[in-house]
Amino acid sequence: MKLTPSKKLNEIASLIGCEFEGSPDFKITGINEIHKVEPGDLTFVDHPKYYDKALNSAATTIIINKKVPCPVGKTLIFSENPFQDYNKLTLHFRPFEKATAPVSATAQVGEGTVLQPNVFVGNNVSIGKNCIIHANVSIYDHCVIGDNVIIHSGTVIGSDAFYMKKENSSYQKWNSCGRVIIHNNVEIGANCTIDRGVSGDTVIGEGTKMDNLIQIGHDTVIGKNCLFASQVGIAGVVIIEDDVILWGQVGVQKDLTIGKGAVVLGQSGLAKSIEGNKIWFGSPVREAREKMKELALIKQLPSIIEKLKR
């Protein structure tokens, strides 16, 4: 999430009542979790295992629960509970806004766009020209939709990220302050769900087409001209490059990359990143030809065992 205008270090620290190290006037231009940070961003860390990763990341302000030397060119905010203070900041800068109408007065809807009955369009949403948004679609706050986009009935754009942190014996929700950005000429089928980023953006690239009943997780970035068949499920923080095809019921684990032009056959499961311009199959996924050979050999095992018994 970008902070417009930017904030000073002492302003941010005072909001959560914490001490800091660095120039009080140091500029903070965004708030982001560690997977998405850029220079100018604030992030947090609360476990020694990840101290080095956070301190050496692109983030220039880190909320941390231990007093450590401040890296050159960065600032630190010292907190007893960085996760809770991070959540306080995201709620402060992007609080929940109650809807007062089916289509918010702050939404922008482009020329030629059709909103069918019972469409909900939240606060500060932007929809481009010549789109068709079918009945019972819900578009949550701050989402951005380009031109010539078609969204079919029952789809939800911008629901909260499924991102939880376990504290003691319960799960604490990580507040979602990111957006969904859908580029031009995208078509999304019925009853799909596309989660907003936790603090960055979930992005659907130009020309991508999706079938019905598809789940796209938080902070996932999908390239141009991809094709997803029904019941594809994609976890958070996945990068899918251009021209990828995922056939029905493919499942994709978090934090991985699918290379440009990859084709993944139906009911496959991806637990690791895969190269582009190849056909993949199975769970765990392998190159399709190799997987088919493996399955053919497995079928022969009973006869091989019988021969060995003789």
**Domains of the chain by start residue, with CATH:** 2-93 (3.40.1390.10), 108-289 (2.160.10.10)
In sequence order, what are the beta bridge partners of 227? 209, 245
Determine contact, residues 57/43, Cβ cutoff 8 Å: yes
- What does the pLDDT look like over 165-209, one tens digit per residue? 888 889 999 999 999 999 999 999 999 999 999 989 999 999 999
- The residue among 259, 265, 261 whose CA lies nearest residue 285 is 265
Does 89 have pLDDT greater than 80? yes
Average pLDDT, the chain: 95
- The residues assigned a catalytic role are 218
Helices (H) and strands (E) in the chain, counts: 4, 34
The tokens describing 61, both together, are 């302000």
Strands 61-64 and 75-78: parallel
- What does the pLDDT look like over 257-306, one tens digit per residue? 999 999 999 999 999 999 999 999 999 999 988 888 888 888 888 887 87
- Position 95 scores a pLDDT of 94
- What does the pLDDT look like over 24-40, one tens digit per residue? 999 999 999 888 899 99
Residue scoring higher pLDDT (296 or 248): 248
- Position 308 scores a pLDDT of 79
- Position 209 scores a pLDDT of 98
Does 222 have pLDDT greater than 80? yes
The answer to whether the bond into 69 is cis (omega within 30° of 0) is: no
Determine contact, residues 96/124, Cβ cutoff 8 Å: no
